[in-house]
Structure 1
Amino acid sequence: MTPHRCTALIGGAVSALLIASLSYAQAPPAAPGPAAGRGRGSAPPPLVSPDVHADHRVTFRLRAPEAREVTIGGEFITQANAIQPPAGDLGVGPTPTIPMVKGADGVWTGTTTDPIRSGAYRYFFVVDGVTTLDSRNTIMSPQRLSQNSMLVVPGDYSETRNVPHGSVMQQWYTSSTYGGVQRPIWVYTPPGYDRGQGTYPVLYLLHGANDHENSWLTTGRANDILDNLIAEGQARPMLLVMPQHLAGPVGVSATVPGGFVHEFETDIVPWVQRTFRAVDAGGSRAIAGLSMGGQQTITVSMSRPDMFKYVGVFSIGQADNTRETFYADKLPNLSTINGWNVHWWAWGHVDFLQPDAVKTVDYLKSKGVKFTTTRETAGGHDWRVWRDYLHEFVPLLFK
């Protein structure tokens, strides 16, 4: 492989990148005890948490003998339709409850009262009011300002399967737009990339405002989704590029007007072309994003519509008082926009941005913008729907 600045490289599931040893609430492992048979007992058996059962109920365990109260929070509790809703139901499904009970051994145990849908969910413990991770679980998913443990319930298109796996790496590029700083970027290369010589189309995938540049790989499961679709023959092998979209200091939005568009055009795309065997043509370039990343997808693609032929917008819409102003400098590019091969929008029925999404699509249609797909789905503003959207969008690319 061409030497890059690469801080991590894996084949298959990205979870191996995120192993950590965290032990906030859990007592440290006991020192090795005396040999068995000497009458002094033995160490307690190791805890398993989370423990996914065959019926998709999940048991969580935490050793916290001094704690007075332990509860669990996370996406599978707050997320719409974490529990499978009735067929055709677009409303919010029931949410699981997890009563945690402390045993005589100091281990708190709780099992979901209902089965959890297949997928990936962030979660955490709250121990006497203090939020902490599940120290028995090495799979984690960072957000912009926090860290989370990850529950993976197998059984759907995003599970890690016995198929050829691509590779995932974190690299760094120099941003001339922001004074030459080094900025992180994650890249997925498809199975066989390292053994071949051919070039590949590229999908640029943007995360949401509260997420991290690798969120599409952890809770989004993007590399597993791509691996499985490619193995099934439903998607072309492609590069997947996931930049950090907050184009400023850590936790701060861009301070340069138009900075993200400029950086995308001047720094990110040229860096990808230099570093990887990427096809250098708009017809082999796609972009998609969720929430704030969807907003930036619109901004970049409609400002430079010749750079892409495939555009996916997930769970976003402009408010009434900003809509016309936002699109004023983009609608002059209408003829190029309408030349895209795929222009795909979707949002959830109970998404808090649903009214703005509907009004924005109607507004753009009134201005002559053409779409290949606009649809409302079950679910809300969450990763359950965004994984679905990626799974539906990717097979449409580069046909």
Structure 2
Amino acid sequence: MKKHISLFILSIIFMSANSNAQQALFSNQQITSPEIQQDNSVIFRMLAPNSNLVQITGDFLPTEKKQSPMGEIDMPGKVDLIKDNNGVWTYKTKELNPELYSYSFIVDGLTTKDPSNPFLVRDVASVTNIFIIGGGQADLYKVNKIPHGTIARRWYDAPELGMNRRLTVYTPPGYEKSNQKYPVLYLLHGAGGDEESWISLGRTAQIMDNLIAENKAEPMIVVMPNGNVSQDAAPGEGSDGFYKPQFMAPKTMNGSYEGSFLDIIKFIESNYKVKADKQHRAIAGLSMGGFHSMHISRYYPNYFDYIGLFSAAIMPREDATAKVYSNIDETLNTQMKNGYKLYWIAIGNADFLYKTNKEFREKLDKMGMKYTYVETEGGHIWKNWRTYLSEFAPKLFN
């Protein structure tokens, strides 16, 4: 008898738990967030009946000045959502321009994701939801009905660094069946990023697929290495396992990466169908990756005909004592005399690195070193870097 009573009680508990689980499941399904309207305004919703305050922060909102490891920078602001009688909090934006946007909710002071939106990206240690307002530039960030390239994560031997390391490689549509050889763009990430950054945050595969399909860019291989020499791979993807990513990994800008970069080129040119000469190599990077691109291209002046500095972190550093950083003016002069087809510098007019980039351009002007300069609105943000890649790639290998 006791056994039957126990089983009955367990059955009730299970049914109750199952009922609650189903209720939560179907309740979540009834919440649509974000909901893009015909006029490109967006409605955000969150079911939080017991919360006192729900806010949203995102790059579609006016910016606020905040302190960061890089000094005072512009960061997205936040606004309050309005709660209805059913415990659903709502916020509607004004009409938004075409773009890939990111956002998070703040519930009673705790920053969290949108439970109704499964689409996420990681930037350093922050995870945010994303959505796209289509049209114009943003159509390059969408997966359209066109031929697609291939993304591969590869491990290469880095004897200069004493380890095997991981990088990401984009090969263009048709690469696997083609007998032709391709040019290569080496695309470098910023501080706190890794070999995943340009794929997830930068939408590199979508941008390249769309540009190639529109005949705006030459079919090319894009190599996205990990610039943090203390890591063999991105956090969670390497031998160090799962750990919290940090903004500046050890030895990131001490010359080790630049000095060992030929290991990456050797791997690519030994394992892929490439045109292995200066005329068919390009290097570009954002922020710290722009710093790396500037130094790699002048340290190896016979390797790259195309150089792109996106919001480059060109600034004096106390740890920049390696051989790679010596004789900067002399090696820039050698790079200039060796010749190149494009030296492309782009930055936002509100970027905290604007002044140092201006000083670098003044140095090049004084030397007589030719470059192309692009200035955009905004600051140190992925919106700009995706645009820069979209504009830089069509100028390569023509």
Q: Using the alignment, how far apart are the partners of 1:288 and 1:301 within structure 2?
A: 9
Deviations 1:117-142 (CA, angstroms, capped at 9, x unpaired)? 21212221111111111222222211
SS at match of 1:177: coil
Can you list the C-alpha shifts for 1:279-299, whole angstroms capped at 9, x where unaligned? 211211101111111111111
Return the offset for 1:78: 5.4
- Is structure 2 residue 28 aligned with structure 1 residue 48? no
Conserved 8 A contact 1:122-1:219:
no
2:34 and 2:45 in contact (8 A); partners too? yes
- Residue type matched to 1:253 in 2? P
For 1:195-240, what per-residue CA distance to the aligned partner results, in whole angstroms no more than 9, with x for missing partners? 2222211111111113343222223222211111111111100111
TM-score (norm 1): 0.79
> After superposition, where does 1:146-185 map in structure 2 within 5 Å?
146-157=126-137, 158-160=140-142, 161-180=144-163, 182-185=164-167
Q: How does 1:70-109 map to 2 (within 5 A)?
A: 70-77=54-61, 98-109=79-90
1:246 aligns with 2:228: yes
What pairs up with 1:259-274 in 2 under 5 angstroms?
259-266=256-263, 268-274=264-270
The answer to whether the 8 A contact 2:119-2:130 is kept is yes
Task: Compute the RMSD of aligned alpha carbons.
Answer: 3.0
Check whether the contact 2:55–2:78 (CA below 8 A) recurs between aligned residues: no
Deviation at 1:395, TM superposition (A): 0.8
**Higher share of residues assigned helix:** 2
| Structure 2: gaps of 5 or more residues | 1-17, 65-73, 236-245
Deviations 1:17-75 (A, max 9, x none): xxxxxxxxxxx995447xxxxxxxx8675322222222221111222222221111233
**Quick one: distance in 2 between partners of 1:135 and 1:365?**
52
Give 2:302's aligned residue.
Answer: 306
In the alignment, what sits opposite 1:136?
A: 116
Query: Partner residue of 2:190?
Result: 208
Contact in 2 for aligned 1:142/1:211 (Cα 8 Å): no
The CA distance in 2 between the partners of 1:291 and 1:255, in whole Å, is 12
Q: 1:234-276, CA deviations, whole angstroms, 9 ceiling, x for partnerless residues?
A: 110011111111111464232795210122112x111222332
Give the letter aligned to residue 263 of structure 1.
Answer: S
Judge which range, 166-175 or 253-262, deviates more. Answer: 253-262
Q: What is the aligned residue count? A: 348
State whether structure 2 residue 68 is matched by structure 1 residue 68: no
Indicate if the aligned counterparts of 1:317 and 1:360 stay in contact, CA closer than 8 A. Answer: no
Aligned partners of 1:76 and 1:121 also within 8 Å: yes
Verify: 1:58 aligned to 2:42, yes or no. Answer: yes
CA drift at 1:97: 6.4
Deviation at 1:320, TM superposition (A): 7.3
Note if contact 1:320-1:356 (Cα within 8 Å) is conserved in structure 2: no
Q: 1:79 to 1:393 in 2, by over 3 A?
A: farther
Q: Where does structure 1 lack aligned partners over 5 or more consecutive residues?
A: 1-27, 34-41, 81-92
- Structure with greater proportional strand content: 2
- Within the candidate set 247, 255, 258, 1:258 is matched to 255
Using a 3 Å threshold, how does the CA distance of structure 1 residues 384 and 120 change in structure 2: closer, same or farther? same
Q: Name the amino acid aligned to 1:122.
A: S
CA–CA distance in structure 1, aligned partners of residues 81 and 370 of structure 2: 52
* CA distance in structure 2 between the aligned counterparts of 1:204 and 1:393, rounded to whole angstroms: 12
* Matching residue's letter, 1:75: D
In structure 1, what is the equivalent of residue 361 of structure 2?
361
Deviation at 1:348, TM superposition (A): 1.2
What residue number does 1:86 align with?
none
Aligned CA distance change for structure 1 residues 304 and 105 (closer, same or farther; 3 Å): same
The aligned counterpart of 1:17 is none
Q: Is the 8 A contact 1:48 1:61 kept in 2?
A: yes
What's 1:385 paired with?
384
CA distance in 2, matches of 1:61, 1:192: 42
Equivalent position amino acid for 2:52 in 1: R
**2:289 counterpart SS class:** helix
Match of 1:111 among 92, 95, 100: 92
Contact 2:189 2:198 in 1 (8 A): yes
Match of 1:196 in 2: 178
Which contiguous aligned blocks of 4+ residues in structure 1 show a shift greater than 6 angstroms? Answer: 324-327
* Higher relative contact order structure (alpha carbons within 8 Å, sequence separation ≥ 6): 1
SS of the equivalent of 1:194 reads helix
Offset of 1:317 from its aligned partner? 5.4
1:188/1:241 contact within 8 Å kept: yes
